[in-house]
Amino acid sequence: MVQYESSRLDASFAALSDVTRRGVLEQLGRSDASITDLAGTFRMTLTGMKKHVGVLEQAGLVTTEKVGRVRTCKLGPRRLEEETAWLERYRQLWDARFDGLDQVVEELKQKERIDGRKKRR
């Protein structure tokens, strides 16, 4: 497991060590794109772009899907981990918020009890 993680990390770092590949990730962060689009944007040959996308794909940073004659690239499964991390941060925010709400609710309960006693008198 540890080895798997570190080899994957190596693959990610290798994939990210190239300025074009980092540019491709930024581009795909904005919208999915075909290899042809990407080759055009980065002014390189289709073959050159295919190689870059291949490296990103191996690192799990990008996935591709061929529909008809067009291969579309999108950000890869690594995004799921980002999402899990985001949901956890979101949960922590609400948890902290609700701890505050708990305190307010407890005070209101106390107050109701005291007021209730006063009324009964």
Partner 1 sequence: MDAKREGDPISMKNRTTVERKSEREIVVTRTFNAPARIVFAAWTKPDLFKRWWVPKSAGISLLSCEMDVRVGGKYRLVFGNDPAKGMEFFGRYLEVIPNARLAWTNEEGGDGGAVTTVTFEEKAGKTHLVVHDLYPSKEALEASGSTDAMPETLDQLDELLGGLDASASS
Taking CB under 8 A as the rule, does residue 104 contact partner 1?
A: yes
Per CB under 8 A, 14 contacts partner 1: no
Q: Exactly one of 9, 70, 87, 114 binds partner 1 (CB under 8 A); which one?
A: 87
Candidates 19-27, 35-43, 48-56, 66-74; binding stretch for partner 1 (CB under 8 A): 19-27
Q: Which long-range contacts (CB under 8 A, 24 or more apart) does 69-73 make?
A: 70/34, 70/36, 71/34, 71/35, 72/32, 72/33, 72/34, 73/24, 73/28, 73/32, 73/33, 73/34, 73/35, 73/38
Q: How many residues bind partner 1 (CB under 8 A)?
A: 34
Look-up of token digits 């996308």: 53
| Residues engaged in binding partner 1 (CB under 8 A) | 13, 16-17, 22, 25-26, 29, 75, 79, 82-83, 85-88, 90-91, 93-106, 108-109, 112
